[in-house]
Chains A and B, each alone.
Chain A
Amino acid sequence: MIDISKLTIQSLNKHLKDGDFSVRELAEVYLENIKNKNPDVNAYLEIYSDVLEQADVIDKKIKAGDIKPLSGLPIAIKDNILIDGRVATSASKILKGYVAPYDATVIKKLKEQDVLFLGRANMDEFAMGGSTENSVFGVTKNPIDLSRVAGGSSGGSVAAVSMDGALASLGSDTGGSVRQPSSFCGVVGLKPTYGGVSRYGLMAMGSSLDVIGPITKTVTDSEILFNAIKGQDPMDSTTYGEGIYSQREVKSKMVVGVPYHVLENGGLSDKVRKNFDESIEKLRSLGYEIKEIKLPNIEYSLAVYYILMPAEVSSNLARFDGVRFGLHVDGDNLLQDYLKTKGQGFGQEVRRRILIGTYVLSAGYADAYYNKALVLRQKISEDFEKAFSEVDIIVTPTTPGPAFKIGEKINDPLSLYLEDVFTVPANIVGIPAISVPSGSVEEEGVSLPLGLQIMAPHNSEKILFEVGKKLLNE
């Protein structure tokens, strides 16, 4: 019997090389586990019907001596990333039945590595939300406590890994959508540098913020999967090549910056603060120097994010017009077709964000909101640049608290937005950030995981992996 709870990408490769089991046998174990757990958790929207056929093809290659670092990796893919010939809906009614006409660049790279695609993972509609409660296919529950959310928007991708329904997964992160659910479910989630991973074939939400990131059980696996999907791509002009950002080197004695003033505004409970202080002590005991830093404009980051993101959303989602793909609701004329299709096809949160975006971009308000937010975005970036001249990494909690109850924040969109307070700055600035498990807090007799967020300068994921591995004793 294969013990998938202990399996990592690294150990899987060795098992397959040693012939301990076949990819088909491994696939059968995962499919059985998904069959048992998915009805409760709702991590997957679809389990592909050809998983065993895929496995046989990979097994044949391995038998012929063709084994790659990711061969046979059982992976879940967020429902907003295109796989040629397979359905992709962004968990929205408006894309019901949409079949992807090509492979996203990340998928192309994974196919070249012979990974095993298990299925597509649930998410908040068009990646808008932090709880997966905005999926039209129902909420994804937290595998650790089914009364709580898995987080979002990549809730399905994260829950799939957390429940051992996949060994790794891909999500997308616009304001924390990989890191926040990873923190809620006790796994490792990486938001790479903006432009580090191609967005070609990722359904756009906030194009200046979006990035695809890996979700894994260990930091070592995160590094392996990141290295497999990263790189410049002619199909995404915002990806960067060599020489654009100088890479910070891993040093033996690194300085950890802690913006304590940010924690004061984060609404941390005493228990969460204690957990964070313990992480800082652990970093100190590992030989890092701890230094308090100030990020003067960071208090504006949430407001900046909730202006820029909806503005980009309102523009990106204009393409869903009922003419070229997905849902079409018929009206008396073309204008009525648009109104009805968008009105009925988009869920409530998506409609809300499109309207906010329309407002902040409209004549008379664009200067006060959108243009001002752009100025502040640059100021926040300068704050980080200055901080990184004194420190190597910056740490904060990933979230203000552990996973919340399903339904707890559904009627108060603003309170849900405030959940993103620690994760949003990395997207605004474009720097890489990783969430690693940092222990847990007890709530109602259940031990709920928390995450520590580590941020590094552009293109310096290497430092995140180094510190993350040390923290998790890898």
Chain B
Amino acid sequence: MITKEDIKNLADLARIEISEAEAEGLTSQIDSILGYVGQIKDSTGDVERAVPKLRNVMRDDVVTHTEEEYTEKLLNNAPSREGKYLKVKKIL
């Protein structure tokens, strides 16, 4: 049984702010969803992990575009920038 405190803790871990009222609503919804998916616990038997069809797919680590080709396009999508840098709040 999942509790409201669990939901608030998960939201903190996921860095999502939720209101008290939402935490309340989510508790019963997520509890019923976890109850449903929890049926897999009843299944028995293990498998030997199969090797995936595709593995170690590599490509050469080379420059594929001209310098600053995407700089402005990428920085223009940022909510806040200063020159050619993304601007964030002081962390330390």
Contacts and interface: CB of A to CB of B under 8 A. Distances in A.
A338 B91 CA distance: 13
Given A323-B88, A356-B33, A376 B40 contact: yes
Interface in A328-342: 328, 333-335, 337-340, 342
B15 A339 contact: yes
A417 B41 CA distance: 19
Nearest to A97: B77
Nearest to B70: A101
B16 A322 contact: no
Contacts of B17: 339-340, 342-344
A195 B14 contact: no
Nearest to B57: A237
A413 B29 contact: yes
B16 A325 contact: no
A203 interface: no
B6 to A, nearest CB: 8
A324 interface: yes
A335 B90 CA distance: 11
Given A101-B70, A355-B7, A414 B16 contact: no
A244 interface: yes
A137 B63 CA distance: 39
Nearest to A238: B54
Contact of A300 (B14, B18, B39): B39
Nearest to B32: A414
Interface string A228-244: 00000010011010001
A201 B86 CA distance: 22
Interface in A90-134: 98-99, 101-102
Contact of A354 (B14, B40, B53, B76): B14
Contacts of B14: 314, 318, 342, 354-355, 358
Contacts, number: 143
B74 interface: yes
Given A99-B73, A340-B17, A375-B46, A195 B54 contact: yes
A335 B59 CA distance: 36
Interface string B1-23: 01000110011011111100010
A326 interface: yes
A359 B10 contact: yes
B1 to A, nearest CB: 13
A327 interface: yes
B49 interface: yes
A218 to B, nearest CB: 31
Contacts of B91: 334
A101 B79 CA distance: 15
B80 interface: yes
Nearest to B91: A334
Interface in A359-394: 359-360, 362, 368-369, 372-373, 375-376, 378-379, 381-382
A58 to B, nearest CB: 26
Given A325-B78, A327-B79, A237 B54 contact: yes
A381 B51 CA distance: 13
B36 A303 contact: yes
Contacts of A99: 73, 76-77
Nearest to B45: A379
A346 B18 CA distance: 11
Nearest to B17: A343
Contacts of A245: 53
Contacts of A209: none
A332 B10 CA distance: 21
A178 B69 CA distance: 34
Given A318-B15, A359-B6, 14 more contacts: A237-B57, A244-B54, A321-B15, A333-B89, A334-B89, A334-B90, A337-B88, A339-B15, A351-B16, A355-B11, A372-B43, A373-B40, A382-B47, A413-B33
7 contacts: A300-B43, A307-B37, A346-B16, A348-B22, A352-B33, A378-B47, A379-B47
Top 9 closest pairs, chain A to chain B, by CB: A343-B17, A328-B79, A101-B73, A237-B57, A339-B17, A338-B15, A303-B37, A325-B77, A334-B89
